[in-house]
Chains A and B, each alone.
Chain A
Amino acid sequence: MKLYDQIFYVVKKFKELFSPGPVTNADVSGSITAEIFLIVSLVIASLLLRHVSILLAGLVTFILAIVLISNIPLIPKFKIEQEDSLEKMLFYAIIVLGLIVVFLYWGGTLV
């Protein structure tokens, strides 16, 4: 029953995501597809770490899968972060710039 309750909670959250306005079957199906797609694709993408270290890839994949599944529904959280707010866009732009510079400075000569 616990899993059923969790899935039911996900659908309830999707209803809030589409409000105001009617929620159709197609919208909820689309959101559930997005949810599953997001989890599976991130887990598969993390397998690419095997080119750095197989142990690291195994650990990251396992931890990521647990974190993602235990935090469903992810799409409403993702959507809030991807809205048209200038503050959020600027925040992520600056974060990414910082990450690129750090990544290149410390990792540029390693690969």
Chain B
Amino acid sequence: MNELIPLMVIVPMMAALLISAFSKFDKVIRIFAFVVAICLPIIPLASNYGLHFFGGYQPIVDNVTNIVYHPAITYSFSFLQQIFIAVIGILTFLVVFIYLTKYKKVSGPYLFLLFMGTASVTALILTDDIFHMFVFFEILALAQVGIVAASSIDYSYEMALKYMILGSIGSPIMLLGIGFLLAMTGTVNVTDIVAIIRGGLLDITSPVFLLSLGLIFFGWLYASGLPPFHTIKSGIYSKAEPHGAALLQSFTVISMISIVIIMFRIYSVLPIFEVLIVLFSVIAMILGVSLALTQTDFRRMIGFLAVGELGFIGLGIGLGTQFAITAGLFQALNEIVITALLFIGFGAIVNATNEVDTRKLGGLLAYHPKVGIMLLIGGLAMAGVPPLSGFQSKLMLVQASLSCGYPELSILTIMVSIATFVVFVKTFYSMFLRPKPHDLEVVDKDVPRAMVFAMAVLLLIIIAFGLFPDIVTNGISSYVGGMLQ
């Protein structure tokens, strides 16, 4: 059933367009959005692995060089894509569910942005075409700007505009890099480019090839929110609605791994590529956690922690071995789930108190014990406490860096995990455990049930991945093994 592969992109994209076009019919678009959101995680789970060639253009064999060329835009679907698209589908469903239950009248354009963002990241992880990747990277950036601008939080417009201005630097530079690559290889299909490089038909020491790496790498830094874009990335998370922020961070993680996998396939012949990734990942880990420790706005604090966690993913990929890349990708999967749980949980607290400053909060465990306990477990998972999912991926990263001969990176990984634990303990104490300040009014004592449901679902995934990591890591490891051959 390879026909289902393009549907993973087409279904959310068509849903986005239809919802936007018929946004006047509130009840109809509510039901339609709910049904489509349920379908999103089911389609990848029901689909078989394989390739899809758009337009039906089959690969062509060059009889002189024996290289297989792919004239069509190709989607490649294997276990890695399946698990990430299924998780993003579950998250989109939960976010849409929270949104539909929160507002009496839903906004068609906002739902359009949520579904369009999901369609874009799905296309990003499926595509084997570097220009196709860029197109959806751009659509995703615009959807992210829209999601932030549409939130009712103060200064969200300003932050969205800043993100767009920075994007106007990052995106064209990435396109320029893709242009250089196209000029050198004559193709935008990643498999073809890799075949040309491995076949020795391209001089990898050429300044143009190196420059294309530099430019695409810079675009990747913007897409993934690694330094110097860590400030704006944490800023947009803090200015989006909590459920929107949960989805935004998952978009960031998926775009980060999609682009880095493509870059890895093309540029891993240059050892400096891995050095660059490790360098920026280490800086992200150090800056993200240091700045999270000094925040008093807990949404910003989670934003910086999310950026710091991206460093772990980059570290795994930068180390470049099968085990390390598997660890990095498993960490990416865990981060999507854990950070979404934290954003939704802390969003529930904002809903109840209308306050984001940890200095003005306190005693909330008495009012919201369920949310408090689920947030505590989510925070422990992020810090890497056993037996939760974050522990498994971080342990793999420590082992990977030790086996690669970099004990410094193992020490750094452990230190960042400890600092993450400190951030979370400090925030949890300030918000839930210390006595409630006299001037704090708990506006709405009931946390929306949809939020509690979403947190419970995400918590189950965290515990399942923590207890049985093999259900994910075996499949990812096989994919990575194939990629490294």
Residues of A within 8 A of B (CB): 17-18, 21-24, 26-27, 29-31, 33-34, 37-38, 40-42, 44-45, 47-48, 75, 78-79, 82-84, 86, 88-90, 92-97, 100-101, 103-105, 107-111
Contacts and interface: CB of A to CB of B under 8 A. Distances in A.
B166 A89 contact: yes
A31 B293 contact: yes
A79 B415 contact: no
Contacts of A75: 290, 294
B214 A101 contact: yes
A104 B235 contact: no
Interface string B405-433: 01011011001100100110010011000
B242 interface: no
A98 B406 CA distance: 28
A84 B294 CA distance: 15
B422 A30 contact: yes
A47 B408 CA distance: 7
B166 A93 contact: yes
Interface of B: 159, 162, 165-166, 169-170, 173, 205, 207, 210-211, 213-214, 217-218, 221-222, 227-232, 235, 270-272, 275-276, 282, 285-287, 289-291, 293-294, 296, 357-359, 406, 408-409, 411-412, 415-416, 419, 422-423, 426, 429-430
B430 A38 contact: no
Contacts of B231: 82-84, 88-89
9 contacts: A24-B430, A30-B294, A31-B294, A37-B293, A45-B412, A84-B159, A89-B162, A100-B218, A108-B272
Given A30-B426, A111-B272, A96 B227 contact: yes
Contacts of B430: 24, 26
A81 B472 CA distance: 40
Contacts of B296: 18, 21, 27
A48 B287 contact: no
Given A27-B359, A89-B232, A38 B294 contact: no
Nearest to B270: A108
Those 10 A-B pairs whose CB atoms lie nearest each other, nearest first? A34-B293, A92-B228, A108-B210, A30-B293, A104-B214, A104-B210, A111-B271, A34-B290, A100-B214, A109-B205
A45 B228 contact: no
A79 B227 CA distance: 14
B359 A22 contact: yes
A101 B207 CA distance: 10
A33 B290 CA distance: 8
Contacts of B291: 34, 78-79, 82
Given A104-B272, A108-B272, 19 more contacts: A27-B359, A33-B419, A34-B419, A37-B415, A75-B290, A84-B235, A90-B169, A93-B166, A93-B170, A97-B214, A100-B214, A100-B217, A100-B218, A101-B211, A104-B213, A104-B214, A105-B210, A108-B205, A108-B270
Which of B162, B271, B408 has the largest count of A CB atoms less than 10 A from its CB?
A: B408
Given A44-B415, A45-B412, A89-B228, A29 B213 contact: no
B359 A38 contact: no
Contacts of A105: 207, 210-211, 214
A109 B271 CA distance: 9
A6 B272 CA distance: 41
Contacts of B205: 108-109
A63 to B, nearest CB: 17
Contacts of A21: 296, 357, 359
A42 B408 CA distance: 11
Nearest to A47: B408
Given A30-B423, A92-B228, A97 B359 contact: no
Contacts of A34: 289-291, 293-294, 419
A24 B293 contact: no
A88 B214 CA distance: 22
Contacts of B416: 41
Contacts of A111: 271-272, 275
B294 A45 contact: no
B286 A96 contact: no
Contacts of A96: 218, 221, 227-228
A90 B166 contact: yes
A78 B227 contact: no
A88 to B, nearest CB: 8
A94 B412 CA distance: 28
A93 B228 contact: yes
A94 B173 CA distance: 11
Given A24-B430, A96-B221, A105-B211, A38 B282 contact: no
